[in-house]
Structure 1
Amino acid sequence: MTTVSEAILSRRSIRSFLDKPVPPDLISKIITQAARAPSGGNLQPWYVDIVTEDSHKRLLDLIQTKIASNPTGETKHYDFYPSDLPDKYTNRRRATGAGLYEAMGIAYDDKEARWDAMKLNWAFFGAPVGLFFSIDKFMGKNQWCHLGMLMQNISLLAIENGLATCMQEAWAVYSDTMHEFLNLPEERIFYCGMALGYEDKNAPVNKFITKRENITEFVSFID
């Protein structure tokens, strides 16, 4: 049995999956257990839409046409990052990007290859299952945190069950399309996607692990 510590320390964003189906009852089991995530007032403010098999193929075909006609994306429904990030955060982003491209054998200044790598987001990196998360627009920051806790639970339970995940805000670049495809009500805001499947352990990109800062950088013990 995988311990909580083992799941946390081994969780990372997997960017290459095997072409191997995930049993629907296993997906349901993971989400049922993940829904025990903390939720202030027990609001349980999350919504999850799942695409597999036929819906998976229909979405990938659709999104490829959107990318071809509108590569810069659609109207943003929220900002991925603050507009003026201090240097320490910007440096972390750049280091992550550089590390990923290096793991994939892509030169940092090769814009075409980087774009090809980016487009893999909208194919779930080959994963057979896509999870999509949304929340009612009237919900506040607290409830967005609770949605994140649900997603973290899913990613850890995936590891316990021999699966892997990649949380993907990239899908929000095409929020309008996702709203329509998932038939989300107007009062709902589309947040992001998550690739779910079996890791391709031979893929070089999956060897890349992001660095975490020493806790002295962000922890204070108050006497």
Structure 2
Amino acid sequence: MTMSPVDAVVRDPTSVIAAIESRFSCRAFLRDKPVPRQQIDEILRIASCAASSTNTQPWKVYVLQGDRRDALVEKVCAAHDATRADPSSAAEYGEVADYYPSEWVSPYIDRRRHNGWGLYGALGIGKGEKDKMHAQTQRNYRLFDAPVGLMFTMDRVMGRGSLIDYGMFLQTLMLAARALGLHTCPQAAWNNYAKIVTPLIGAGPEEMLVCGMALGYADESAPVNAYRTPREPVESFTRWV
């Protein structure tokens, strides 16, 4: 007999908390350790339990492995190199939607800078080392060597609230991956090259790219995976009214 969600008991809440607290943006994966399809299916099944307003479930997921993964990586990396060689060509691409604010203000710009320089510090990249910075940015487009790339789209007709639903879906997916011993890295960087990504994955013109995600087993020996972003204390963002 299937237990009702109302009656269900979380018998090991520490495991739930551990999945949340151990999630981080993994930036080095084991390329030669594939993820079985049944595990990916299970992660997506669990993620489908995420809440969405009026049960709209606006998410669409494209899974890339093997040759299709590699084809996407090579095409976007080539475009990334081309835009560096000729910055004016960047106008050909660009984001399909405003992911970041048009003007950065404190405290958000401060956190962003702290994160950027903290990450570069962990990688031994100093200010002004543009070649290294370019190579590290391109690691995004190489999926940090993860064997699985996930691309997420949504129908353009949907409203802004569906992006809130999407965020809950993505977080649920990442926690499901942790429960199965895998790691992830959600990536907004792919949005810059949506014009390349969406046709290659077979997304229709009615779909917009929301983000990408790397999925796989973490390279525990990589120094970058020891980097952790700080979190604001609860009292800094909470008001008891």
> What's the RMSD between the two structures over aligned residues?
1.3
**Where does the alignment leave 5 or more consecutive residues of structure 1 unmatched?**
none
**Distance in 2, Cα, partners of 1:76 & 1:60:** 18
Q: CA deviation at 1:68?
A: 2.8
- Aligned match for 2:83, one of 66, 70, 75: 70
Identity %: 37
Question: TM-score, normalised to structure 1's length?
Answer: 0.96
Is 1:27 aligned to residue 40 of structure 2? Answer: yes
| Secondary structure in 2 matching 1:3 | helix
**Distance in 1, Cα, partners of 2:77 & 2:171:** 28
**Distance in 2, Cα, partners of 1:125 & 1:75:** 21
Is 1:107 aligned to residue 120 of structure 2? Answer: no
| Secondary structure in 1 matching 2:167 | helix
- Aligned match for 1:14, one of 26, 33, 52: 26
**Where does the alignment leave 5 or more consecutive residues of structure 2 unmatched?**
1-11
- Aligned match for 1:57, one of 50, 70, 90: 70
Partner of 2:4: none
Is 1:160 aligned to residue 160 of structure 2? Answer: no
Matching residue's letter, 2:139: L
Question: TM-score, normalised to structure 2's length?
Answer: 0.89
Q: CA deviation at 1:152?
A: 0.4
Q: Deviations over 1:17-55 (max 9, x none)?
A: 012100011000110111000011111111000000121
Q: CA deviation at 1:148?
A: 1.1
Matching residue's letter, 1:40: S
Is 1:38 aligned to residue 55 of structure 2? Answer: no
Matching residue's letter, 1:171: W
Q: Which has the larger radius of gyration?
A: 2
* Preserved CA contact (<8 Å) 2:94 2:191: no
Matching residue's letter, 1:22: V
Matching residue's letter, 2:211: C
Is 1:92 aligned to residue 116 of structure 2? Answer: no
Give the paired residue count: 222
**Distance in 2, Cα, partners of 1:75 & 1:22:** 31
- Aligned match for 1:209, one of 228, 231, 234: 228
Matching residue's letter, 1:52: Q
